[in-house]
Structure 1
C-alpha cells in the first residue's frame, strides 16, 4: 500500500471525510501535514499543487487533489488501484 500525504487543517470537515475514506480503504501510512500550524507549509502546498484549499492529497507521487477528487476516484473504481500501484 502506498504512502499517502494529506495537507490539512485542524478544523476541516473535508479533511476528516477524506481521511475516513482512506482508512476504510486500508491506508495505514497517512502523513498529515497541518498547514494551519505553519504558514511556510501552506506556501509549499500552494507551490506544488497550484491550489489553496485543503485537503490536498498525494498517493505516492500522484497528486490526487481534494476530497471531491478522492471520492470521484472511488466512484470510478480507480482509487484502490492507485493505492496499490503508486
Structure 2
C-alpha cells in the first residue's frame, strides 16, 4: 500500500517532498525550493506525520532510497535525498538544471 501511494505521487514532471512539519531538515528543503518559480501543481509537500501507514512509508523509503528519514525529496522519480542534500544541490547550481530538466519551472 505504501509503495503504491509513493509511486502514484512521484511523477516525471513534479517535485515531491515527503515531510513531517516539525522537522528542521524538512523546513530547510522547503525554504530552498521556495526560491524557485514552479509551474502550478509541480511542487508538492506531503505530510506523513499523521498517517496510519507512516512506518510503512518510511520502510519503503529505506528500500527505495537507502534512508527512512524525512524529508525524502523526489525530483521526478529520482530521490535526491534530504534537506542538506537539496541545500547542497542549490548551492552548487545543480538544482535549477535538475528542476528545468523535468519541466517543473516557469
The runs of 5 or more residues in structure 1 that have no matched partner are none
TM-score, L = length of structure 1: 0.83
1:65 matched to which residue of 2? Answer: 81
Matched, 1:23 2:39: no
Query: After the TM superposition, which residues 24-63 of structure 1 pair with which residues of structure 2 at under 5 Å, given as runs?
Result: 24-27=35-38, 28=40, 29-36=42-49, 37=51, 38-63=54-79
Q: Is the 8 A contact 1:9 1:35 kept in 2?
A: yes
Q: After the TM superposition, list the runs of 4 or more consecutive aligned residues in structure 1 that deviate by more than 4 angstroms.
A: none
Unpaired runs of 5+ in structure 2? 1-12
Q: Matched residue pairs, number?
A: 85
Structure with larger Rg: 2
